[in-house]
Amino acid sequence: MKNLAFSNASDNYYNQEKEFLLHLIPEGPNMVLDVGCGSGRVGKRLIESNKAAEVVGIEIFDAAAREARNHYKAVHVGDVENMDLPYDRYFDVVICGDVLEHLREPSKVMERLYHCLKDNGLIVCCVPNVRYWRIWKNLVFAGTWEYEAEGIMDQTHLRFFTTRSFKRLLEDASFKVQDEEMRIAKGPKQRGFDRMTRGLFQEFLGIQMMITARKSPCVRA
């Protein structure tokens, strides 16, 4: 589903560099597929840092895609759930940055992305963490489940994930999880509590989950 925030080149939603994902991309140069690429800031950074030799994007919003074409080899415009991807074992890395929560059937998209990756290729994904304490506090104590303009309860989100369900989505598509990280919400109290408890409560303090997973070769036909 499309987020309508993008109306010009200064809008923030489609112009994020997603710094928190960049360190998860292995040293290159790599052939990279950026699903939900927005205006192409992530790919631009990967090319500048020599982590990517070539970046291909998929973007549902045409205005953002036009911006991305300034840096990407190609940008396919449309809904990834209804798109035929003309790539077979082509990419070293696939990035799904804040995409899966917008899909009706993310499992089917993951299966198709599997075939786009070279054997032993890497998929890098991030999704909002629905176990964040403010979400369940409102649900349990206030009985509310209200959508918002942005954030974990973004009104365009169709799917919600915990760490366990996020990992299962990847594993069911024949990926082997290699690494997982949690982005802790901003604020000294939450970050301080996370340090004091040595990460024991990260699933309740984190706003976003990041996973890298390796394609298991020769599992799927």
Apex CA 104: angle with CA 31 and CA 129, to 5°? Answer: 75
Burial class for 84, CB neighbours closer than 10 Å (0-12, 13-18, 19+): exposed
Contact between residue 184 and residue 207 where contact means Cβ atoms under 8 Å apart: yes
Mean pLDDT confidence for 68-94: 96
Instruction: State phi, psi for 205 to the nearest 5 degrees.
Output: -100, -15
Identify the pLDDT of residue 193. 63
Mean pLDDT score of the chain: 88
Q: What percent of the chain has pLDDT over 70?
A: 86
Instruction: Indicate the pTM of the whole model.
Output: 0.88
Q: What percent of the chain has pLDDT over 90?
A: 75
Identify the pLDDT of residue 221. 47
Residue ranges of domains in the chain: 13-215
Identify the pLDDT of residue 4. 45
Banded pLDDT at 9 (limits 50, 70, 90): very low
Q: Give the CATH fold of the 13-215 domain.
A: Rossmann fold (3.40.50)
